[in-house]
């Protein structure tokens, strides 16, 4: 049976962030992930993880000014220094939180920057980040995101991500495979997961349309969960979805779809 991690950015949002850890544990989760830890004291986060007996499996590199519309800065040639500073900050947090991997959001193609320049910048930044994280015994992930939800996002397909992995050539750089984004961009979920398994460091889920919990849309999660087990994926699956009602009311899918 797959192991599920609660994404505290999207789940249990009816309560303050620091209270969501206890809510996740009470709901039966043993692991958590979330977008960014940087607004909170890292020692306070480590303490709440310890108190609740939770494992943190993922957070993102700093991604610019989220409220202003940034969705990552890794492909922006003018923000290399900001990116490198963010790598150092992410390592500090991940080390204290015992979080084994950090995701890099490529960002949207900057206005006036060519695709080739953005690609070269992304590869350069990932090469730097992978080396820094490897020295700290951490893994780096990159995540394809659909261009319907985030128009202009630079990294949109699994194939594009795989080519970037080849170009960077680091043994601690992996793909974060988000089932929802992959369904919107390319489909072929089962075969892609099997084909790319050795290159996938983390999986996330949501159904489509709506990005709600599994069982609310078109994806056959009952089959997909069995397939993920069958191909030998042993990592966590992050539950990065928007509950249709409340988080607690929508958690029945974990039993209904994993029998």
Determine phi and psi for 142, rounding to 5 degrees: -125, 145
Tokens of 65: 């000014």
Mark whether 143 is an active-site residue. yes
Which one is catalytic: 92, 188, 213, 240? 240
Mark whether 240 is an active-site residue. yes
Question: What is d(CA 94, CA 170) in angstroms, rounded to the nearest whole number?
Answer: 19
Question: What is d(CA 39, CA 149) in angstroms, rounded to the nearest whole number?
Answer: 25
User: Of 27, 16, 55, nearest to 253 (Cα)?
Assistant: 27
Tokens of 251: 């958690």
Question: What is d(CA 224, CA 209) in angstroms, rounded to the nearest whole number?
Answer: 17
Which one is catalytic: 14, 82, 143, 167? 143
Residues recognised as catalytic? 143, 240
């Amino acid at each position: 049976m797959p192991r599920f991690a609660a994404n505290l950015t999207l789940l249990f949002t009816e309560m303050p962030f620091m209270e969501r850890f206890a809510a996740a544990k009470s709901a039966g989760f043993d692991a958590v992930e979330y977008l960014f830890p940087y607004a909170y004291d890292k020692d306070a986060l480590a303490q709440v993880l310890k108190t609740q007996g939770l494992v943190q499996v993922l957070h993102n590199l700093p991604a610019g000014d989220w409220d202003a519309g940034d969705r990552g800065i890794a492909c922006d040639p003018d923000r290399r220094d900001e990116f490198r500073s963010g790598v150092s900050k992410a390592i500090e947090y991940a080390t204290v939180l015992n979080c084994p991997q950090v995701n890099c959001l490529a960002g949207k193609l900057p206005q006036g920057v060519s695709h080739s320049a953005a690609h070269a910048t992304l590869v350069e930044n990932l090469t730097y980040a992978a080396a820094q994280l490897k020295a700290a015994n951490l893994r780096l992930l990159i995540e394809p995101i659909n261009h319907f939800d985030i128009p202009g996002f630079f990294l949109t397909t699994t194939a594009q991500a795989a080519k970037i992995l080849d170009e960077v050539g680091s043994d601690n750089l992996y793909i974060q495979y988000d089932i929802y984004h992959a369904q919107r961009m390319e489909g072929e979920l089962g075969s892609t997961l099997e084909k790319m398994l050795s290159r996938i460091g983390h999986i996330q889920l949501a159904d489509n349309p709506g990005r709600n919990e599994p069982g609310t849309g078109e994806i056959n999660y009952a089959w997909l969960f069995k397939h993920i087990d069958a191909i030998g994926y042993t990592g966590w699956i992050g539950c990065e979805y928007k509950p249709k009602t409340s988080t607690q009311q929508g958690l029945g899918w974990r039993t209904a779809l994993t029998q």
